[in-house]
Structure 1
């Protein structure tokens, strides 16, 4: 597999093996004299969908590599380290497919262990997500430059924690964004622009690899203020509200929890995966405003947790007094719960509302077909709202990012419209000169 794009300047050579001209599958090789590092190790779902569907499944790692769905093996030869920006699979990829002895830096070892447990017993190729014993996993430190010249920068995204990276090379400086958004659901607690500005300081940036997922999109931007207003209006009604979120989206979970508590509702978690990551989230300093006495677990899950939370019954408590609860789900277990309700012979309270947050573009990683989910919701008489609070910055926020980076050269990645990004950014840079 040849790189999608190669750039050489002085001692620095960049080779992009995924994420250029497509959304997801990021993999960027950096070669700089005696250094060789990789940013992200993503699965190219765009390629995966072309070859596999239904009963047609991959025969193994070698086949996935042969069609270009995962990075080629040769880029990992004599490598110093791989840096994973966050845990969405189009960036994390298949750690089990890495050659022995590779060192992988991740945002959180605790959360990685939870994710690996989700997939370890899978009967499909997803069983290759967990790393093997001969792979070295380490956790990097924010704003700390390591021995390879890499500085991790905390950013807001729909997977927590997420990082961008600044690389200080022998002759060039490089910024790699990973995935990020400017407007966080947690507002000032995770300030992407301030964090990037702090890391760059007065450094002159030569090259910026900047994600541009929403450039060229046609969806109306919804920021934190709009999202909070929508949620507040819904929560003020005396109805059952179910919200579906990604189990890695700690920022959204925290923001929703705070809004639910202000409206007098008890948050009821009905997702095993969210329960799995909850103890890891609660270890962070950003959860101080969450009242654990107002968070409950659906007893029907029969899911134990180390967090001291109360248990409530969906049938006995939530469905009888729906105005007192906010039911939090995630897509995988959402369908399971609804199907189980049919077996119970249970009907949802009248005028129940389901909110689908879908923070990522629908063409990326999905484990549940949304059309199927919507069919079940309509069958059960549930009104559906979509509140897409994107995990990526919006087009009107691009100038703010470029003004901070001020790169000599910008390379758009994680977008289907790189030419559009080039045109817009070139105009911005010319206006600023």
Structure 2
């Protein structure tokens, strides 16, 4: 028999975690961070303790308590056997590890883990899972995770268990025990568009879809004559080359038929319509060209650095108004890494003269190369520097000395630029200093939550007011509208619908009427037979 179980994404936005079983085989779809639940315990500088994070998460019920998927090194401290029994409870999460499950049963608990896209509410818990688990994702999602590991220091493609070591002679306490991080590469496989992966009696086929981050995939799972479709996060209103992917996915599901179960996101099930990337462009352009006041003023554009679709919209806007787009270093690093991707039409867009990279001041604040040893991505498209050879690669070597732009150049000629400036870059307003020239701050949101929890709107507004800027909000979501979701369901025509990634699962039945069966009250961990 084939069954599906849910361990996250139930009645909330994010934290998806789905288990599909057929006979002795199991696969998992996503395993991510639940923003609302995590926000109850952690925010800003209050976060899980380094070296104890999974055990902290398990204690607070912030990750799925599924036996046999997490690495033993993440569950049980390697020093526990040498400790007094009275303190061992602090070093063991009391959940069966991947290794212990394998030893007991002779086979792993899951045969494969499939990731829809690189947002943390779908992938965060991969960092705790055993590296031996075959993990599947699109090529672009793998590239996104590589970049996140290099610039954000969250390494999803390796497990980092501790090993025992000793402090050296130059330390305060030579010879005493410490823990050192090891690195184990994960068993990663790329799923190409339309490609099927066979795991025992389960077949999983990947289909690219449109979302606010490139590389998103939906999956069609076939087992025992049953079919389960999982949309992941999906929308139909992004840039054309990506929105077409979503329409093609729906057409293929309609054509293939025999769709028993549809697991669909429902973030915006309440909304009938919404803004598109095209409407964001048109409205922002209308605002910027409505008067001559913006001609010599600052224009800032705020959007997530991983949203390539939004970057393309802002770049199109900059070209239309005759300005150079200045992007933040993380975005430049990503663009260089994915320069051959479909969303960029296979073009190395950084070669364009009307795109430049902002160079913030760090450490000594003198723009010296040595100021960027801890933020290599600011001046280099390769963060893996080799001190022995000193053969470092710099943007200036690849794209010319004028590729970087510093604050004074923008400050003295603000009418030449649109400056990408996100929430965590607001300190740069001090160096850019737009108080005299004034200008606007285009707040181009894409998600209900950002990746480091909710942005404090009041803090953003304080910065805007302090630096004499006018904020305008133009929002196109990374998620399909309610009307688009209903249209998708009518085409796919599943026997049963499981709404996830939504606070309003009950609205699906209301909008669909009695023609479809909707499981609006999903019970965590329950096996639903297909």
Q: TM range, normalised to the smaller chain?
A: 0.7 to 0.9
Q: Distance in 2 between matches of 1:419 and 1:229?
A: 34
1:165: Cα distance to partner?
0.8
The equivalent of 1:3 in structure 2 is none
Show the counterpart of 1:151: 205
TM-align CA RMSD: 2.5
Q: Provide the rounded CA distance (Å) in 1 between the counterparts of 2:463 and 2:156.
A: 30
Residues 15 and 29 of structure 1 are in contact (CA less than 8 Å); yes or no, is this contact kept in structure 2?
A: yes
Cross-structure match for 2:353: 293
TM alignment of 1:162-201, pairs within 5 A: 162-186=216-240, 190-198=244-252, 201=255
* 8 Å contact kept, 2:3–2:21: yes
Write out per-residue CA displacement over residues 241-267 of structure 1, whole angstroms, 9 at most, x where no aligned residue.
Answer: 111111111111122212322322111
- Post-superposition Cα deviations, 1:265-320, rounded to whole Å, max 9, x if no partner, equal 11111x22212211123221332475712111123366224452643544443233
Partner residue of 1:308?
A: 399
Q: Is residue 2:287 matched to residue 1:234? A: yes
1:18 to 2:8 alignment: yes
What residue is the counterpart of 1:135 in the other structure?
Answer: 186
Contact 1:70-1:93 at 8 Å conserved across structures: no
Structure 1 residues 298 and 53, CA gap change in structure 2 (3 angstroms): closer
**Worse overlay, 271-280 or 347-356:** 347-356
Choose which of 128, 131, 135 in structure 2 pairs with 1:104: 135
Task: Write the mapping of 1:281-360 to structure 2, written as runs, cut at 5 A.
Answer: 281-288=338-345, 290=349, 292-300=352-360, 303-306=378-381, 308=399, 310-332=402-424, 334-341=425-432, 346-348=433-435, 350-360=437-447
TM-score by length of 2: 0.71
2:330 aligned to which of 249, 273, 281: 273
Q: 1:398 to 1:295 in 2, by over 3 A?
A: same
Gapped runs of 5+ residues in structure 2? 70-107, 160-183, 362-366, 368-377, 382-397, 518-530
Q: For residues 387-427 of structure 1, what are the alpha-carbon distances to aligned partners after superposition, in whole Å with 9 as ceiling and x for unaligned?
A: 11100011122232112211111111100011112221235
Offset, 1:349: 5.0
Q: CA separation of 1:336/1:427 partners in 2, compared to 1, >3 Å: closer, same or farther?
A: farther
Shift of residue 322 of structure 1?
2.4
User: Does the 8 Å CA contact 1:358/1:387 hold for their aligned counterparts?
Assistant: yes
Q: Distance in 1 between matches of 2:230 and 2:251?
A: 14
Residue 504 (structure 2) pairs with residue 422 (structure 1): no
Please list the CA deviations of residues 355-399 of structure 1 after superposition, one character each: whole Å capped at 9, or x if unmatched.
112211148753753322221121111111111110001112223
In structure 2, the residue corresponding to 1:326 is in which secondary structure?
strand
1:225 aligns with 2:278: yes
Residues 293 and 128 from structure 1, CA distance in 2 versus in 1: closer, same or farther, beyond 3 angstroms? closer
Q: 1:37 to 1:188 in 2, by over 3 A?
A: closer
Alpha carbons 1:84, 1:104 under 8 Å: kept? yes
Indicate the structure (1 or 2) with the bigger Cα radius of gyration: 2
Q: Kindly indicate whether the alpha-carbon contact (under 8 Å) linking 1:186 and 1:255 is maintained by their aligned counterparts in 2.
A: no
The residue aligned with 1:253 is: 311
Deviation at 1:189, TM superposition (A): 6.2
Matches within 5 A, 1:343-382: 346-348=433-435, 350-362=437-449, 365-366=452-453, 368-382=455-469
Query: What is the deviation of 1:102?
Result: 1.2
- Structure 1 429/139 Cα, relative in aligned 2: closer, same or farther at 3 Å? same
Matches within 5 A, 1:18-97: 18-53=8-43, 56-59=46-49, 60-74=53-67, 76=69, 77-97=108-128
Confirm or deny: 8 A CA contact 1:73 1:99 kept in the other structure: no
Single out whichever of 206-215 and 39-48 deviates more from structure 2: 39-48
SS at match of 2:40: helix
Give the CA deviation at 1:75.
5.7
Tell me the number of residue pairs that the alignment of Structure 1 and Structure 2 aligns.
Answer: 407
CA contact (8 A) 1:268 1:296 kept: yes
2:322, 2:380 → 1: CA distance?
24
Residue 183 of structure 1, CA deviation: 0.8
Deviation for aligned residue 1:101: 1.2
SS in 2 for 1:282: coil
Q: Distance in 2 between matches of 1:231 and 1:352?
A: 14
Structure 1 residues 297, 188: CA separation in 2 closer, same or farther (over 3 Å shift)? Answer: closer
